[in-house]
Amino acid sequence: KRKKTWKKKNEYCGHISLRFIAVLGLLWMFSQLSQLKIGKSAAYILRYQWLDYANDDESPEKVCNCSAILQGEKEALQQAKLLTISKDFQKSIQIPDEYYIDATQDCRKFQINRKYITFPLSKEEEDFPLAYSMVVHHKVQNFERLLRAIYAPQNIYCVHVDKKAPASVFAAIKAITSCFPNVFMVSEAVNVVYAGWTRVQADLNCMADLYNTSTTWKYFINLCGQDFPLKTNLEIVQALRSLKGGNSLESEEMPQGKKGRVTNRTGKTKDPAPFNLPILSGNAYIVVNRGYIRSVLEDEQIQALIEWAKDTYSPDEFLWATIQRMPGVPGSTWPNRKFDVTDMNAIARLVKWHWHEGSEGSLQAVYPECKGHHVRSICVYGAGDLQWLIEQHHLFANKFDADRDPIAVYCLEKYLRHKALTE
């Protein structure tokens, strides 16, 4: 029967063109089959393997078994802990600031050696650029590894280095940023004071630069140097798209203990907020759309709120949360308490506070105990925290310290890179 059809066709077409079509058809079928059969993993090996963080990369942490660590296996975690406290290892992981100035002399080489991803990994990511504000004051190694983990050529990154940071930190970070056209230093740096207004001002300056530099980005995310992502860029894009224009940040009723912060200033009572705006409680880290940033930069009510907030204690802990509940701000919700969002429900940032740690089933506990160590009551994650961390919905977690607990960063970056390349 088949022969017959061939023959029949032969009557319409010449021999040569028929053969040509048959060959084309075969080629097409072959390409379809090979796509089905080889599947994603082989395609990944062919295209992207050189970007994976391999075990033979120069790295003192390479003796760790990260897949066992990510599964929470006790033996692997014990080994990681022993390695971390050994003197030789501690010495081997220190990277002086000058290293980055040398390494970035040849930017192409730096990008290749450090395996930066310099092309969009998918159309979906390319069509959904992000804007990052990164506020840094020390630990250049943390910053560089964070940048590498979130870097994508379609995104833009504003870096604010504290005005009082050591000259070597500033020079190293400036050298790194100069290797990427879409990473820049903030146009105006400030002296960031803990719990003071300048922490907000640093982000505001980056917001203005980011807003002014590019009109295409969809969402804004602010980071500090000791954050690290828990998701790949594609997962971040997908999580943001599913917000459908909404913002995601902590914004809830002000706890009694913090109310004095906005009613008192140096013992004197402070006027209520302008327009009697209800002041809500939150934190410094936000995930907001472009319209929210436009409002922050241009809306007159928000300008008045900003002026009012400048002499309060830790304004970062209420300003963004309050703006998120103002009518007319893109992606905001109504101020009614039913729309309150806690830090655990928002996707912006995961932070483990000492006093909320405990065991599952306890009414006080919010998360399992910190496996690293604490700095100012905040958990600096250890390798033992990773298994729990990667199950959370947050896009970023705070804090990591590549000098103290390098295995946590090492295994997390390896896990994310492999996932990004096989997605």
Ligand X SMILES: *[C@@H]1O[C@H](CO)[C@@H](O)[C@H](O)[C@H]1NC(C)=O
Of 90 and 422, CB closest to ligand X: 422
Could you say which residues in the range 250-269 bind ligand X, by CB under 6 A?
260, 263-264, 267, 269
Phi, psi of 264 (to 5 degrees): -115, 145
Least gap, CB of 42 to ligand X (angstroms): 22
Q: Is 281 helix (H, G, I), strand (E, B) or coil?
A: strand
Could you say which residues in the range 64-123 bind ligand X, by CB under 6 A?
65, 67-68, 73
Of 45 and 68, CB closest to ligand X: 68
3-state secondary structure 298-366: HCHHHHHHHHHHCCCCCHHHCHHHHHCCCCCCCCCCCCCHHHCECCCCCCCEEECEHHHECCCCCCCCC
Give 33-77 as a DSSP string: HHHHHHHHHHHHHHHHGGGS--TTSS-GGGGS-HHHHHTT-HHHH
Q: Which residue is nearest to ligand X (CB)?
A: 260
Least gap, CB of 36 to ligand X (angstroms): 29
C-beta of residue 395 within 8 angstroms of C-beta of residue 236: yes
Cis peptide before 399 (omega within 30 of 0): yes
- The CA radius of gyration of the chain, in Å to the nearest whole number, is 26
DSSP-assigned letter for residue 274:
G
Q: Rule CB under 6 A: say whether 208 interacts with ligand X.
A: yes
Burial of 422 (C-beta count, 10 Å sphere; 0-12/13-18/19+): middle
Of 66 and 165, CB closest to ligand X: 66
Residues that contact ligand X, how many (by CB under 6 A): 11
* Active-site annotation holds for 298: no
C-beta of residue 352 within 8 angstroms of C-beta of residue 379: yes
What residues contact 310, with CB distance under 8 A and at least 6 apart? 197
C-beta of residue 193 within 8 angstroms of C-beta of residue 215: no
For residue 19, the tally of other CB atoms under 10 A from its CB is: 11
Please pick, from the candidates 78, 94, 212, 303, the single residue that binds ligand X as defined by CB under 6 A. 212
Scanning 36-44, 60-68, 91-99, 314-322 for contacts with ligand X by CB under 6 A, the matching segment is 60-68
Least gap, CB of 146 to ligand X (angstroms): 26
Of 192 and 207, CB closest to ligand X: 207
Select which of 317, 357, 360, 391 is catalytic. 317
Q: Rule CB under 6 A: say whether 272 interacts with ligand X.
A: no
Of 90 and 263, CB closest to ligand X: 263
Scanning 61-69, 128-136, 168-176, 373-381 for contacts with ligand X by CB under 6 A, the matching segment is 61-69
Question: How far is residue 377's CA from residue 12's CA, in Å, rounded to a whole number?
Answer: 82
Q: Rule CB under 6 A: say whether 188 interacts with ligand X.
A: no
Least gap, CB of 318 to ligand X (angstroms): 14
Of 31 and 67, CB closest to ligand X: 67
DSSP-assigned letter for residue 383:
G
Of 205 and 324, CB closest to ligand X: 205
Least gap, CB of 257 to ligand X (angstroms): 8
Least gap, CB of 141 to ligand X (angstroms): 26
Residues linked to residue 131 through DSSP beta bridges, in sequence order: 156, 220
Least gap, CB of 303 to ligand X (angstroms): 13
In the complex, the residues that contact ligand X under the rule CB under 6 A are: 65, 67-68, 73, 208, 212, 260, 263-264, 267, 269
Q: Which residues are catalytic?
A: 317
